[in-house]
Amino acid sequence: MTHGLFGFTGRIGRAAYFGYSLLIWLFVAIAVGIAVALMSSGKVAPPAVFATVIIGIGSVVALVWANFALLIKRLHDLGLAGTNAIWIVLLSVGASATSIHAPLASILFGLASLGVELWLLFAPGQPAPNRFGPAPGSSPTFASGIPA
């Protein structure tokens, strides 16, 4: 499972991409809920606040890494290079960065980002092996028939 979430090589199909994405969002929701509950209780000592912040930063780094790894492997399944993840991430960042000063641009960036995300969720991957590996769910073999 750790390679599925944190590795950048290989391919990942639509169902696994969706499942791992849900897992990441579930983790975010739980972490935010715990942080809000701790902070709103008013009984949190400064060391606990510091520990919560450190754990929060570590969690954010891990979640961003995992999201990026999933995106790259999904692009690999579609036969595209992982470098395409840069413009996909920039679309999402553009939607957030322009929200205050340019609401119309934020809406356009958001719609474009939503379209790309829907494409990633629903576009079928290449059924045959490609330069990034065998199709998800197939047996990994070389062209010579020797198992990998």
Q: Work out the angle at residue 43's Cα, subtended by the Cα atoms of residues 39 and 46, and round it to the nearest 5 degrees.
A: 75
- Counting Cβ atoms within 10 Å, is residue 146 exposed (0-12), middle (13-18) or buried (19+)? exposed
Domain segments of the chain as ranges:
2-122
Residue 141: the pLDDT is: 54
Alpha-carbon Rg of the chain, whole angstroms? 19
Please tell me which residue, 60 or 120, carries the higher pLDDT value. Answer: 120
Rounded average pLDDT over 71-78: 96
**pLDDT tens digit string along 112-132?**
999 999 999 999 999 999 999
Residue 97: the pLDDT is: 83
Please tell me which residue, 95 or 67, carries the higher pLDDT value. Answer: 67
Rounded average pLDDT over 68-90: 94
**pLDDT tens digit string along 9-55?**
999 999 999 999 899 889 888 887 877 777 777 766 777 777 777 87
Instruction: Tell which phi-psi region holds residue 15, choosing left (phi > 0), alpha (psi between -120 and 50) or beta.
Output: alpha
Residue 114: the pLDDT is: 92
Residue 140: the pLDDT is: 57
What are the CA-CA distances from residue 76 to residues 10, 12, 85 (Å)? 7, 8, 10
Helix (H) or strand (E) holding 42: none
Residue 122: the pLDDT is: 95
